[in-house]
Amino acid sequence: MVDFTAGDLPDLHGRTAIVTGANSGVGLATARALAIAGARVVLAVRSLDRGQAAARTITGDTEVRRLDLADLASVRAFAAAWTGPVDLLINNAGISVPDRRRTADGFELQFATNHLGPFALTNLLLEHVTDRIVTVSSQAERMGRLDLDDPDDERRPYRESAAYNRSKLANLLFTAELQRRLDAAGSRVRAVSAHPGLVQSAIYSESGAVLRLMVRLLGQSADEGALPVLYAAVADLPGDSFTGPSRWAHMRGAPQLINRSATARDAGLAARLWTLSERLTGTRFPLGHHFSTDPV
């Protein structure tokens, strides 16, 4: 356990952070803490109205830009409009929905929003990134099962939890392969992941009654849930670190480094997921060109 609070953030004046899904929950709490510490924070959100309302609650330098991670055209437009450095890219936005839905690109909505969108955004912005990429995952990855021959899980009945779990597993595999590629390219950028714990968040708004009750009774606040994300963003951690709360089976408490499943440590699976994600999104790692699908 690390005695870390939002007040322990370093002076971030002169630094720029992009936080996806920053209009509520952990994303808003993360954006608020970074802005208070002096960063220029870009709230990347689906609804400009909601984003602007959120920005008005933040003290500091903020900007709101539209980004819909479920729509690859929106991801490309956001990245194409970007100029200047990105010191911190916080891939926070995520969803959980009770029924199978398709994106405009034809992908299952959770896999697209939680993995493919952040994958594409990261690769399209990577040449601008100077310091760190934090992707918000979850310990739910331990229950994730990822079939790369059926990434939209069409061969079995849709289950909300199964779709969410595999998208969170994909987040960790993405981070691991991204760090491998950054290292191979000689980049000093670090890719890390964070698990916010059980948080009272709008992500559960369409979940079942039992889960919503559990979250309401046992979940920690968004400010508390943001601590592992903030810690991952600024602490001196090695690439491919995974941070999360320290108590209640890593569901509450101060942040610390935590473990991940054996599947999330499968370098071959991470490399194959990367290849598939490149094909599905039409985006590629921009810092080098000679990567095999088998890890070195």
292 pLDDT higher than 70: no
Q: Record the tokens describing residue 22, joined without a space.
A: 């920053």
Mean pLDDT of 164-175: 97
pLDDT number for residue 84: 96
- Report how far apart the first and last C-alpha atoms of the chain are (Å, whole number): 33
* Residue with more model confidence, 159 or 152: 159
pTM of the model: 0.92
Q: Record the tokens describing residue 160, joined without a space.
A: 């909300």
Which one-letter amino acid corresponds to residue 257?
A: L
Catalytic, out of 158, 164, 204, 231: 164
164 is catalytic: yes
Q: What is the pLDDT of residues 19-53, one digit of tens each?
A: 999 999 999 999 999 999 999 999 999 999 999 99
Question: Can you list the domains of the chain with their CATH numbers?
Answer: 9-280 (3.40.50.720)
Nearest to 22 by CA among 136, 190, 109: 136
Q: Provide φ and ψ at 212, rounded to 5°.
A: -60, -40
Residues 284, 264: Cα–Cα separation, whole Å: 21
pLDDT number for residue 145: 94
Q: Record the tokens describing residue 232, joined without a space.
A: 């991952």
Q: Provide φ and ψ at 133, rounded to 5°.
A: -120, 120
Residues 272, 107: Cα–Cα separation, whole Å: 18
190 in Cβ contact with 132 (< 8 Å): yes
296 pLDDT higher than 50: no
DSSP E strand boundaries for 55-103: 62-66, 86-91
